[in-house]
Amino acid sequence: MGTTLHVIGSLMIDRVLRVPALPAAGETVMARSAAVHPGGKGANQAVAAARCGARVRMLGRTGSEGAFIVRELAAAGVDTACVMTSDAMSGFAAVMVADDGMNSIVIAPEANSRIGDVDIDAFLAGASPGDLLLMQNECSGLGHAVTAARARGMRIWLNAAPMGDAVRSIDLGALSCLLVNEHELAALTGIGEAEAALHQLAHAWPKLDLVVTLGAEGWIARVDGAIARGHAIPVNAIDTVGCGDAFVGALAALRSEGMPWIDALARANAAGALAATVAGAIPSMPMREAIETLAQPH
């Protein structure tokens, strides 16, 4: 099972509208259906890692109406002792999913913004040197968490999603792995072409492992100093919400158990593809057995 994976991240109530096509600015469209799902990039990735076989603990905050997300985490085997309920409103994600499975999301962090430095220090006291800390950019405390985890000798992975000032203020040299999608990569580097942007980051941070998910185009990475890439696995995509989280969570789990990068990336790619075949974020995080099956060469 490897070392423990520690996740500091968000819990969101995903309010999802299925629409024929994503609306343009100023346009009103009629939804086909509305649903509520458990989500948040932190919770999604914690569940993805646990379903992939990792021992996972999480630090997060939600409001009382988000208690169902904590139950989902626990049911997946995530240690939720540090997932606290506050009197703030739960994180809110307004999600639209079009008929082609593509999505558009706006988040309001709310309770996720109440994670304090004291909470982070208490959480990290339960970690050992060499353990992996996985974070995203939907909750407070990112800068302090990086400093504190580095001081403890942890490996720090940042999924820089969504891109924002908190990410830009991080010393990327403190990270062991940066994970982004093509939009976040372009926003971070100012370069629109993914491979060129990856090379620029790799040049600036030669020791940093870099993983870029490219949606239907697959992924590209610079790991152990070499460029690697893979194609997306064709599936019947009905809902792409959480695909990136399935990829990141599975990858973190597999690297925590010591799997070589290339094997772990192939399985993470399969996890992302499987997530597109099920509606919702946490409900779509796949089990290890399904990942192994899809990741086999066809």
The residues that touch ligand RIB, with contacts defined as CB under 6 A, are: 10, 12, 14, 39-41, 44, 93, 105, 107, 138, 241-242, 244-245, 281
Give whichever of 80 and 137 is closer to ligand RIB, judged by the CB atom.
137
Rounded CA-CA distance 156/6 in Å is 10
The CA-based dihedral angle spanning residues 246, 252, 255, 256, taken in that order and rounded to the nearest 10 degrees:
-130
Q: Minimum distance from CB of 126 to ligand RIB (Å)? A: 25
Amino acid present at 189: T
Q: How far is the CB of 244 from ligand RIB (least distance, A)?
A: 6
Output 94 or 259, the one with its CB closest to ligand RIB: 94
Residue closer to ligand RIB (CB basis): 201 or 285? 285
Q: How far is the CB of 45 from ligand RIB (least distance, A)?
A: 9
Please, what is the minimum distance in Å from the beta carbon of residue 10 to ligand RIB?
A: 6
DSSP class per residue in 235-281: ---S--TTHHHHHHHHHHHHHHTT--HHHHHHHHHHHHHHHTTSSSS
Q: For ligand RIB, which is the closer residue by CB, 44 or 189?
A: 44
- Other Cβ atoms less than 10 A from the Cβ of 231: the count is 11
Backbone angles phi, psi at 198, to 5 degrees: -60, -45
Q: CA–CA separation, 54 vs 5, rounded Å?
A: 7
Distances from the Cα of 189 to the Cα of 70, 138, 192, 200, 254, angstroms: 35, 20, 8, 8, 28
Least CB distance from residue 95 to ligand RIB, whole Å?
A: 6
Task: Indicate the residue type of 24.
Answer: A
Q: Which is nearer to ligand RIB, 53 or 109 (CB)?
A: 109
Chain residue at closest Cβ approach to ligand RIB: 39
Nearer to ligand RIB, 127 or 160 (CB): 160
Measured between alpha carbons, how far is 238 from 269 in angstroms, rounded to an integer? Answer: 17
Question: Closer to ligand RIB at the Cβ: 3 or 284?
Answer: 284
Element spanning 143, H or E: helix 142-151
Q: Which is nearer to ligand RIB, 237 or 259 (CB)?
A: 237
* Minimum gap (Å) between residue 225 Cβ and ligand RIB: 29
Least spacing, CB of residue 136 vs ligand RIB, in Å: 8
Total length of the chain: 298
Q: How far is the CB of 260 from ligand RIB (least distance, A)?
A: 26
| Residue 13, H or E segment | strand 12-19
Q: Report the chain's C-alpha Rg in angstroms.
A: 18
